[in-house]
Amino acid sequence: MLEPDRFWLDRNRGSDLLFDAFLKANRYPLRIKSGGMVRSKTLQADTQTPLWPIAQGLILGNDTAMLASSLVLGIETTCDETAAAVIERRSDGTGRILSNVVHSQTEEHAAFGGVVPEIAARAHVDLLDGIVGRAIKESGIGFAQLAAVAAAAGPGLIGGVIVGLTTAKAIAMVHDTPLIAVNHLEAHALTPRLTDALEFPYCLFLASGGHTQTVAVVGVGNYVRLGTTVDDAMGEAFDKVAKMLGLPYPGGPEVERTASGGDPNRFAFPRPMLGRADANFSLSGLKTAVRNEASRLMPLQPQDISDLCASFQAAVLESMADRLSVGLRLFQERFGPPHALVAAGGVAANQAIRGALQDVAAKAQTRLIIPPPALCTDNGAMIAWAGAERLALGLIDTMDAPPRARWLLDENAIAPAGFANTRAGF
Ligand code: ADP
Ligand code: MG
């Protein structure tokens, strides 16, 4: 047992002292001296205690940890973006992007009409070194100044996840810096705290090529899934509709552009899940309806394609607005009024969808926040930011952190009845 009040950690002395102390003592009061301020707190070895931030001169308050300011490198390789960024998180919880380098592999996958996992993984291997180098160079800092290295450890295409996480581990080992294994969805969820200093709790609507979810963001590491797609993701549905109509890849923006010259009322496509009590989404039935209508009309004239796109988009909008309104109602019942409705993911780039989201937010008497496009789609800054948020709470990972193809943001989420074996089950 260490003598109370005799154990001081100087901000420049290493973490070894602290680890030794943890090995020797089960419970002791620890005083931390940093920048002339002294606070004390009783630490218990059996709780998840913020070791590294303390070692780096952290001042512990009552429940929250405050780091003077931390610089974090973030790496994103879960899908078809190879990205790295450096951000700063200040002690007041606000943030700043020092660099944000993104290479989108759209060209590598265009010929195949979709993301090819092996091509993506190989591209990440080829590109990541250079992209991390550029992110560090453009940030104007050196590796030695990093408080942590964060990588998206899933969910995503496993080859790419392994490339990013392994690179982060190597950097962490070489520079003796903590590693943070970030959930890619958590990074999307926390982005508005970087862009808009948004307070918890708020409601996230994430719609990308791989995910469509409504999530209550209650705190860092505290997420409650309110609704999810039971089959296709919204971006995936746009991409598949584009493909069946012969539009180029990536399909989402093409469908939006083509829809602008079309009649949204020509085809009465189904509005999936409309009026259901739960807040889940479904898109595959709608996609099939578009396919059936397109085969019936073959050969398609340009006006048919425009009308199919416009009618498809109208159905997506109506279904989304209904599903999201239910999600916001569930949010309100459990957590009170949200500080905002936040939209993220590539689909949030769609102007018609933005308009519908604005209406949904207004009806729920909350405001809509959509981070700028570069921070809505996959990027390294959001991974670095999520890493910094976790670091501030002492949530760091070991070198054993596994790459994960599947990783629920809300580990308590249960699949809706009848959908356990669908995407909603994951
Ligand atoms: P992913 O995790 O799939 O890489 P991103 O956040 O990069 O997700 O978003 C890509 C997805 O967003 C694609 O499915 C794309 O079709 C869709 N998307 C992009 N722009 C639009 C748009 N204007 N309308 C609809 N969908 C879009
Ligand atoms: Mg992408």
Closest ligand 1 atom, residue 79 Cα: 4
Q: Does residue 221 sit in the same domain as residue 355?
A: yes
Averaged over 85-91, what is the pLDDT? 95
Where in the sequence is the domain holding 24, given as residue range(s)?
Answer: 7-60
Ligand 2 centroid to 338 CA: how many Å? 28
Tens of pLDDT, residue by residue over 332-352, are 999 999 999 999 999 999 999
In a shared domain, residues 82 and 145: yes
Distance (angstroms) between ligand 1 centre and the Cα of 199 equals 27
Which ligand lies nearest the alpha carbon of 252? 1
Number of domains in the chain: 3
For the segment 7-27, the average pLDDT, to the nearest whole number, is: 39
Residues 243, 301, single domain; the answer is yes
CA distance 213 to 72: 27
Residue 14 belongs to some domain of the structure: yes
Whether residue 1 is predicted with pLDDT greater than 90 in this model: the reply is no
207 and 332 share one domain: yes
Tell me the pLDDT band of 421, cut-offs 50, 70 and 90: low
Q: Domain for residue 288, yes or no?
A: yes
Clarify whether residues 237 and 359 are in a common domain. yes
Confidence grade of residue 424 (pLDDT, cut at 50, 70, 90)? low
In the prediction, which pLDDT does 425 show? Answer: 62
**347, 378, 383, best to mutate for ligand 1 pocket (most atoms within 8 Å of CB):** 347
pLDDT for 58 equals 38
Q: Does residue 32 carry a pLDDT above 50?
A: no
Q: Contact 340/201 with Cβ under 8 angstroms?
A: no
Q: How confident is the model at residue 190 (pLDDT cuts 50, 70, 90)?
A: very high
Spacing, Cα 392 to ligand 1 middle (Å): 31
pLDDT at 412: 86
Q: At what angle are helices 158-174 and 117-139 packed, to 10 degrees?
A: 30
Residues with CB under 6 A from ligand 1: 79-80, 208-210, 235-236, 238-239, 250-253, 256, 345-347, 349-350, 377-378
Residue 129 sits in a domain whose CATH number is 3.30.420.40
Over range 153-182, report the average pLDDT: 96
Ligand 1 atom closest to residue 235's alpha carbon, by position in its atom list: 14
Identify the pLDDT of residue 411. 86
pLDDT, residue 426, reads: 59
Range in 9-18, 165-174, 183-192 the model is least confident about: 9-18
Angle of CA points 418, 280, 289, to nearest 5°: 85
206 and 311 part of one domain: yes
Query: Does 293 score more than 70 pLDDT?
Result: yes
pLDDT for position 323: 98
**Measured at the alpha carbon of residue 137, what is the angle toward residues 131 and 142, in degrees to the nearest 5?**
115
Strands (E), 162-221: 179-183, 202-207, 212-219
* Three-state secondary structure readout of the chain: CCCCCCCEECCCCCCHHHHHHHHHCCEEEEEEEECCEEEEEEEECCCCCCHHHHHCCCEECCCCEECCEEEEEEEECCCCEEEEEEEEEECCCCEEEEEEEEEECHHHHHCCCCCCHHHHHHHHHHHHHHHHHHHHHHHCCCHHHCCEEEEEEECCCHHHHHHHHHHHHHHHHHCCCCEEEEEHHHHHHHHHHHHCCCCCCEEEEEECCCCEEEEEEEECCEEEEEEEECCCCHHHHHHHHHHHCCCCCCHHHHHHHHHCCCCCCCCCCCCCCCCCCCCCECCHHHHHHHHHHHHHHCCCCHHHHHHHHHHHHHHHHHHHHHHHHHHHHHHHHHHCCCCCEEEECHHHHCHHHHHHHHHHHHHCCCCEECCCHHHHCCCHHHHHHHHHHHHHCCCCECCCCCCCCCCCCCCCCCCCCCCCCCHHHC
The residue assigned the tokens 């709470």 is: 393
Which of 324, 339, 370 is where one domain is finished? Answer: 370
Could you tell me the distance, in angstroms and rounded to a whole number, from the CA of residue 237 to the centre of ligand 1? 10
Cα of 81 to ligand 2 centre, how many Å? 6
pLDDT bin (cut points 50, 70, 90) of residue 68 is low
Q: Is residue 91 part of a domain?
A: yes
Work out which ligand 1 atom sits closest to the CA atom of 350. 23
Nearest CA to ligand 1 atom 25: 252
Q: Is residue 399 part of a domain?
A: no
Instruction: Tell me: do 184 and 315 sit in the same domain.
Output: no
Ligand nearest to the CA of 346: 1
Q: Are residues 213 and 231 in the same domain?
A: yes
| 320, 211: one domain | yes
Assess whether 33 and 94 both reside in one domain. no
Ligand with minimal distance to 184 CA: 1
Tens of pLDDT, residue by residue over 246-291, are 999 889 999 999 999 999 999 999 999 999 999 999 999 999 999 9
Report the distance separating Cα 244 and Cα 253, nearest Å: 15
Q: pLDDT band at 387, cuts 50/70/90? A: very high
| Residue whose pair of structure tokens reads 């759209």 in the numeric block | 106
Tell whether 166 is covered by a domain.
yes
Q: Is the pLDDT of residue 167 over 80?
A: yes
Q: Which atom of ligand 1 is nearest to the CA of 236?
A: 14
Q: What average pLDDT does range 305-322 have in this prediction? A: 98
Supply the pLDDT for residue 113.
Answer: 80
How many angstroms does the Cα of residue 119 sit away from the middle of ligand 2? 14
Residues whose beta carbons lie less than 5 angstroms from ion ligand 2: 79-80, 378
Q: Which atom of ligand 1 is nearest to the CA of 156?
A: 2
Ligand 1 pocket test, pick from 80, 208, 241 with the greatest ligand atom count within 8 Å of Cβ, gives: 208
pLDDT bracket for residue 148 (50, 70, 90)? very high
pLDDT value at residue 187:
97
Same-domain pairing of 74 and 114: yes
Other C-beta atoms within 10 Å of 49: how many?
17
Per residue in 388-417, pLDDT tens? 999 998 899 999 999 999 999 998 887 777
Ligand 1, pocket-test mutation among 76, 103, 238, most atoms within 8 A of CB? 238
Q: Whose CA is nearest to atom 9 of ligand 1?
A: 346
Residue 419 inside a domain? The answer is no
Is the same domain home to 211 and 356? Answer: yes
pLDDT at 60 over 80: no
The predicted model gives 117-128 an average pLDDT of 96
Q: Judge whether residue 40 has pLDDT over 60.
A: no
**Residue 187 included in any domain:** yes
CA terminus-to-terminus distance, the chain:
45
| Average pLDDT along the chain | 86
pLDDT(49) > 80 = no
pLDDT at 69: 86
Whether residue 141 lies inside any domain: the answer is yes
What mean pLDDT comes out for the span 319-338? 98
- In the chain, % of residues over pLDDT 90: 75
Q: Please tell me the pTM assigned to this model.
A: 0.83
Confidence at 82, pLDDT banded by 50, 70, 90: very high
User: Do residues 221 and 390 touch, judged by C-beta distance below 8 A?
Assistant: yes
